[in-house]
């Protein structure tokens, strides 16, 4: 265990100190601030267009353009980019070392290959968590600081749901946890491809290709696709949004969590199996 903690510490240090790791933080901060700035200047006009139609039916009171709404919009926008940012670092954790030759150092030390893969995987998850913390800070805290608190008007597949500001903090907590689980699948997939491939770029591109293909499958309502859709991890990557429905479909959320966990277990098992048999020729 002591040995594992030592190599995990090494992996976390390497991940944090890599210049590439900061690209993700920078992009998240930039997109959040850009969206916040846009909504700060033009948000009222955009919202008046939406609420104007509602005001014909309902009486809209209070501050609609608030920190919770901005966070909801930012999260929906970034869910497309976040897997790329995660794959950018986690897809390079093993293959980058194979390409650079530093893998030889790692594999000629006493720690087993299984421990090395697990340490790298956990370091990847740690980076994913850091990305989400940065996202949470900018999307939730900075948005609240700029726009203030208020009830959330969330537009879901079921329609418009209004969630009271008093009832929202726990939903954000669980939403970020499910988002972390979703991105962990991406990180684990990237780590798996990184174990199989010997260059840095292919695993990153492959992860994005897989996500794009699965998302396209998820978009079409075809009977042949309907069979596989529930088992694609991309179908469940947006399940965090279900927490902003009323009533919350807990059964669907638990199913999504189970599918995501199964994917993680499958991907990490393949990573360990393959990496233990791999010849290091670089």
Partner 1 sequence: MIGCFFMGQLFGYKNNLSTILISLLSIILYICINYNKSMSLAIQLKNVSKHFGDFVAVNDLSFEVQQGDIYGFLGPNGSGKSTTLRMIMGLIKNTKGEINLFGKSLNLNRSNILREVGCIIEKPDFYNYLTALENLQLFARANQLNFKKTDFEQLLERVGLLGREKDKVKTYSHGMKQRLGLAQVLIHNPSLIILDEPNTGLDPQGIIDLRNLILSLNKEEGKTILFSSHILSEVQEMCTSMIVINKGKTIAQGKVAELLSHEKIHVKLEVIEVDKTIQLINQSNWKELFDKMEENVFVMNMSKDKIPALVSFLTLSGVSIERIDYRNQLEEYFLKITNQ
- 17 lies in the site for partner 1, by CB under 8 A: yes
Q: State how far Cα 44 lies from the chain centre.
A: 29
- 41 lies in the site for partner 1, by CB under 8 A: no
Rule CB under 8 A: choose which of 27, 82, 88, 106 binds partner 1: 106
CB of 19 to partner 1, least distance (A): 6
What residues contact residue 126 under an 8 Å CB cut-off, 6+ apart?
A: 12, 15
- Calculate the CA dihedral of residues 81, 72, 254, 159 and round it to 10 degrees: -120
- The whole-angstrom separation of Cα 262 and Cα 258 is 6
CB of 105 to partner 1, least distance (A): 7
Rule CB under 8 A: choose which of 40, 63, 104, 209 binds partner 1: 104
CB of 17 to partner 1, least distance (A): 6
- 118 lies in the site for partner 1, by CB under 8 A: no
Helix residue ranges, H only, the chain: 2-17, 19-54, 67-90, 95-100, 103-107, 113-136, 143-147, 169-196, 201-219, 223-228, 250-277
- 7 lies in the site for partner 1, by CB under 8 A: yes
- 9 lies in the site for partner 1, by CB under 8 A: yes
- Listing DSSP states for 187-222 in one string gives HHHHHHHHHH-SSSHHHHHHHHHHHHHHHHHHH---
Rule CB under 8 A: choose which of 19, 159, 223, 247 binds partner 1: 19
Select the span of 61-69, 104-112, 130-138, 149-157 touching partner 1 (CB under 8 A): 104-112
Q: In terms of CB distance, is 221 or 279 closer to partner 1? A: 279
**Does the bond joining 247 to the residue before it have cis omega, within 30 degrees of 0?**
yes
CB of 5 to partner 1, least distance (A): 10
Q: Which residues bind partner 1 (CB under 8 A)?
A: 2-3, 6-7, 9-10, 13-14, 17-19, 100-102, 104-112, 277, 279-281
């Amino acid at each position: 265990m002591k040995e594992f903690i030592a190599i995990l510490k090494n992996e976390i240090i390497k991940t944090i100190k890599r210049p590439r790791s900061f690209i993700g933080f920078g992009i998240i901060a930039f997109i959040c601030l850009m969206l916040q700035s846009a909504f700060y200047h033009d948000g009222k006009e955009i919202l008046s267009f939406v609420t104007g139609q509602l005001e014909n039916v309902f009486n809209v009171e209070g501050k609609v353009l608030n920190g919770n709404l901005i966070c909801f919009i930012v999260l929906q926008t970034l869910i497309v980019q976040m897997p790329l940012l995660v794959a950018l670092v986690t897809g390079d954790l093993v293959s980058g070392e194979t390409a650079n030759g530093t893998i030889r150092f790692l594999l000629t030390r006493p720690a087993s290959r299984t421990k090395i893969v697990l340490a790298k995987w956990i370091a990847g998850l740690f980076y994913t968590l850091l990305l989400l913390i940065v996202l949470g800070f900018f999307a939730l805290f900075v948005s609240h600081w700029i726009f203030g608190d208020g009830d959330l008007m969330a537009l879901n597949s079921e329609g418009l749901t209004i969630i009271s500001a008093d009832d929202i903090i726990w939903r954000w907590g669980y939403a970020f946890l499910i988002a972390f689980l979703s991105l962990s699948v991406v990180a684990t997939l990237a780590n798996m491809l990184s174990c199989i491939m010997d260059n840095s770029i292919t695993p990153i591109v492959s992860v994005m290709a897989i996500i794009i293909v699965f998302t396209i499958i998820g978009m079409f309502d075809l009977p042949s696709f309907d069979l596989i859709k529930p088992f694609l991890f991309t179908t469940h990557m947006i399940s965090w949004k279900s927490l902003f429905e009323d009533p919350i479909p807990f059964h669907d959320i638990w199913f999504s969590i189970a599918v995501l966990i199964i994917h993680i277990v499958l991907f990490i098992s393949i990573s360990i199996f393959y990496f233990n048999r791999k010849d290091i020729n670089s």
